[in-house]
Amino acid sequence: MAVRLKELERLLYRLITAPSGVAEGLAAERGLPPGGLDAIVRGDSRLSATQRVDIYASMYFNRLLDVLKEDFPATLKALGEVNFHNLITGYLLEYPPTEPSVHFCGRHLAAFLRDHPMRVKAPYVADLAALERALVKSFHARDAVALDAETMRSIPPAKWPAVRVGMHPAASILAVKWRVSGLLAAIAGNRKWKPSARGDVKVLVWRRNARVFHRELEPAEEHALAAAARGTTIARICDLIASSMRHGNSVAEANRLLARWIADGILVRMPNSRRRSVNRR
Amino acid sequence: MVEGGRALEVLSAIRERYPIVMHGVSMSIGSADPLNRDYLRKLREAARRFSPAWMSDHLCWTSVGGRNLHDLIPLPYTEEALRHVVRRIRAVQDAIERPILMENVSSYMAFADSAMPEWEFLSRVAEEADCGILLDINNVFVSAFNHRFDACEYIDAVPADRVVQYHLAGHSDHGTYLLDSHDHPVREEVWSLYERAVRRFGAVSALVEWDDNIPDFGALAATADRARRIFINAASNFVRRDRNGGSAERTGTAPVPADHRA
* pLDDT, mean of each 10-residue run, chain A (281 residues): 78 96 94 91 96 97 97 97 97 97 96 95 96 97 95 94 96 97 95 91 95 95 95 96 87 94 96 57 39
In single-letter form, the type of residue at position B188 comes to E
User: For the residues of A185-212, what is the DSSP string, one character each?
Assistant: HHHHTT----PPPEEEEEEEEEEETTEE
CA distance A177 to chain B (A): 29
The pLDDT value recorded for residue B122 is 98
User: For the residues of A92-116, what is the DSSP string, one character each?
Assistant: HHHS---SSSGGGTTTTHHHHHHTS
Q: Are B59 and B108 in contact (CB under 8 A)?
A: no
Mean pLDDT of chain B: 90
CA distance B208 to B216: 14
Number of residues that this document lists for chain B: 262
**β-pair partners for A178:** A198
> How many CA atoms lie less than 13 Å away from B76 in the CB half-sphere?
22
CA distance A141 to B253: 43
Tell me which chain A residue has its CA closest to the CA of residue B4: A142
> Cβ–Cβ of B176/A46 closer than 8 Å?
yes
Q: Does B110 touch chain A (CB under 8 A)?
A: yes
| Bridge pairing between strands B100-103 and B132-136 | parallel
Q: How confident is the model over B249-254, as a mean pLDDT?
A: 35
The pLDDT value recorded for residue B176 is 97
Domain boundaries, chain A: 1-71, 127-270
> Cβ–Cβ of A41/B110 closer than 8 Å?
yes
The pLDDT value recorded for residue A10 is 97
**β-pair partners for A166:** A268
ipTM value: 0.90
CA distance A218 to A201: 9
Mutation target for B interface from A1, A9, A93: give the one with most B CBs within 10 A: A9
CA distance B169 to B137: 8
Which of the four pLDDT bands, split at 50, 70 and 90, describes residue B239?
low
CA distance B87 to chain A (A): 11
CA distance A99 to A102: 7
Q: Which residues contact B33 (CB under 8 A, 6 or more apart)?
A: B63, B64, B65, B66
For CA atoms B38, B41, B47, B50, give the dihedral sign. negative
Q: Which CATH homologous superfamily contains domain B21-260?
A: Divalent-metal-dependent TIM barrel enzymes (3.20.20.150)
CA distance A108 to A240: 33
B18 or B261: which leads in pLDDT: B18
Q: Could you report the per-residue pLDDT of B62-120, keeping only the tens digit for each?
A: 999 999 999 999 999 999 999 999 999 999 999 999 999 999 999 999 999 999 999 99
Architecture of the domain delimited by A127-270: Alpha-Beta Complex (3.90)
Q: Between A and B, how many CB-CB pairs are < 8 A?
A: 131
| Bridge pairing between strands B205-209 and B163-169 | parallel
Domain boundaries, chain B: 21-260
Chain B residues with CB inside 8 Å of A143's CB?
Answer: 3-5, 8-9
Q: Does B8 touch chain A (CB under 8 A)?
A: yes
Q: How confident is the model over B27-49, as a mean pLDDT?
A: 96
